[in-house]
Amino acid sequence: MEIDNPLGNCLVSYDERYIKSNNAELNRGHSSKWESREIALIFSRLGYNVDIINWQDTSFVPEKNYDIIFDIHHNLSRLAPYLPNNAIKILHSTGSYPEYAAHRELDRIDNLIKRKKKYYSPKRICETVYFKRSVETADAISLFGTEHTKSTFPQDFQSKITLLPVTYLQTAQKKLNQSLGDEFLWFYGGGAVHKGLDILLDVFSKNQNYKLNIVGDLEYEKDFMEIYYHELKELPNIEYHGFLDPLSNQFKQIIQKCFAFIAPSCSESTSTAAVTCLMAGLFPIYSIDNGLTLPDNMGYLLENCSHNEILKAVKIVGKYSEKKLINEIKQIRDFIVQRHSRDNFAKLMKEFIELTIQNKSKKCK
């Protein structure tokens, strides 16, 4: 992204594949597609020449001086020695602190192995050393999530963090009338145990008067499919649909049957899957680790995601009146439309970047 009379050079380490994508492609799949392009465009609008690399590119070495680097993981610490001393270094975190996430997932896996006497390998644990160095190196950190998400980072670095809202995905929406359906939905990306699906399968398999719909790609988790083959393939009250586009007719048909989604993840930044379910018009039963901000006293917040707590939540929410559910769902969806809109993301991200540049400039004087 070259411009006339630039203020300087900026390197964005995110996802270069979507910089020139059309809007139709950006509306499908993960919200990071649009966000990565918008971040590059913000720097361009602020007057910088922008180069983009993939965040997983570990071979790139700068051939020019960069005044700003914006990265989502390890390239910040890797490339810092190549940058001028006064370069502005920004880390954009799209998850909880990796050590927190790793310990949370391993705790859940240990509990699963004790219950089932079968092995399951971790699916969401990422490299932590370079991320920690990036946190140390950064002048400022943007983070999707809540104060709880922020608290997963070491205390020494929390003053660097600015919380920002993730954008929502375009999705089919259910009709909010007097027939909301009576089924539940689990809808997530990879990492079935990390996302609490094992707990839900244990609960629903023993309480077959409640129906659970599962949307997500589990096929690559051969160990999980083997452990829970009976629950996923043979029980009448549990239906596994596989991966579905949130704009597809099949997803629309599923959410018309469901009135609530259950999101018992053990670690997220802000879960785009959970935000998508809120946009679709489903009532939330969710853990604090989903990074959701909702209107006061709305939704059902899980405290520990235990088997007993989830069964209790299913029973309580299942007895809510249609009037109460519709009222809360509408208020939550209106809130999500405003807070997680692309316009709001662009506004807040631009303000964060501008403030970071101003603060760095003051320190360098």
Per-residue pLDDT of 4-28, as tens digits, reads 778 899 999 987 766 666 565 555 5
For the four alpha carbons of 296, 301, 304 and 309, in that order, the dihedral sign comes to positive
SS3 152: coil
Domains, the chain, with CATH or none: 8-98+124-167+341-364 (3.40.50.2000), 183-339 (3.40.50.2000)
Alpha helices in the chain (DSSP H): 23-26, 32-45, 75-79, 98-116, 129-137, 147-151, 197-205, 222-227, 229-234, 249-257, 272-280, 307-318, 322-339, 342-364
DSSP conformational letter for 262:
E
Q: What percent of the chain has pLDDT over 90?
A: 81
Q: Report residue 266 as tokens.
A: 């053990």
- The residue ranking higher by pLDDT, 168 or 161, is 161
Q: What is the pTM of this model?
A: 0.92
Q: How far apart are the first and last CA of the chain?
A: 29
Around 116, how many Cα atoms within 13 Å sit in the side-chain half-sphere? 22
pLDDT tens sequence across 206-241: 999 999 999 999 999 999 999 999 999 999 999 999
**pLDDT surpassing 90 at residue 55:** no
Per-residue pLDDT tens digits for 91-143? 999 999 999 999 999 999 999 999 999 999 999 887 777 889 999 999 999 99
Q: How far is CA 13 from CA 157, 162, 218, in A?
A: 21, 19, 29
Token reading at 217: 């790609």
Q: How far apart are CA 340 and CA 60, in angstroms?
A: 33
Question: According to the model, what pLDDT value does residue 74 have?
Answer: 87
**Average pLDDT of every residue of the chain:** 92
pLDDT digits (tens, 9 = 90+) for 277-319: 999 999 999 999 999 999 999 999 999 999 999 999 999 999 9
